[in-house]
């Protein structure tokens, strides 16, 4: 099956700093989503981005499907950005199965 690798596994930032999270995948995909899991365990949809670039406030994401990677940019980080960020992909030709990476754990400090 498809492999999804996220980097870095852990990240500590001071409030106000910018960061880039990376997701590499091993095969072609028809769906790619970024999620934020907050400290209470809730999964929050950030982006549905099988290709191209999207922006939502301080967050933006870019997927280069031909090179099999996606990037999530967080600018001017806030303590509420803390949590785990997951990338998940849906492999082309499979029946609707999202394969998740192991996540990037982000801690934003004052």
Partner 1 sequence: NAGVTQTPKFRVLKTGQSMTLLCAQDMNHEYMYWYRQDPGMGLRLIHYSVGEGTTAKGEVPDGYNVSRLKKQNFLLGLESAAPSQTSVYFCASSSGAYNEQFFGPGTRLTVL
Check: CB of residue 52 under 8 Å from CB of residue 58.
no
Contact between 26 and partner 1 per CB under 8 A: no
Quick one: which segment of 11-19, 53-61, 71-79, 100-108 binds partner 1 (CB under 8 A)? 100-108
**Residue 19 bridge partners (DSSP):** 74
Per-residue binding letters, 63-92, with partner 1 (x by CB under 8 A):
-----------------------x-x-x--
Stretch that binds partner 1, among 18-26, 51-59, 68-76, 99-107 (CB under 8 A): 99-107
Q: Is 31 in the site for partner 1 (CB under 8 A)?
A: yes
**DSSP readout, 26-83?**
SS-EEEEEEEEE-TT--EEEEEE-SSEEEEETTEEEEEEGGGTEEEEEE-S--GGG-E
Decide if residue 39 touches partner 1 (CB under 8 A): no
């Amino acid at each position: 099956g498809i492999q999804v690798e996220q980097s870095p596994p852990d990240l500590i930032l001071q409030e106000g700093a910018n960061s880039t999270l990376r997701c590499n995948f091993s095969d072609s995909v028809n769906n790619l989503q970024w999620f934020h899991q907050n400290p209470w365990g809730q999964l929050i949809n950030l982006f549905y981005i099988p290709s191209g670039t999207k922006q939502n406030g301080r967050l933006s994401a870019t997927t280069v499907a031909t090179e099999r990677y996606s990037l999530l940019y967080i600018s001017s980080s806030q303590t509420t950005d803390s949590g785990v960020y997951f990338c998940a992909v849906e492999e082309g030709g499979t029946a609707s199965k999202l394969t998740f990476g192991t996540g990037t754990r982000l801690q934003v400090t004052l």
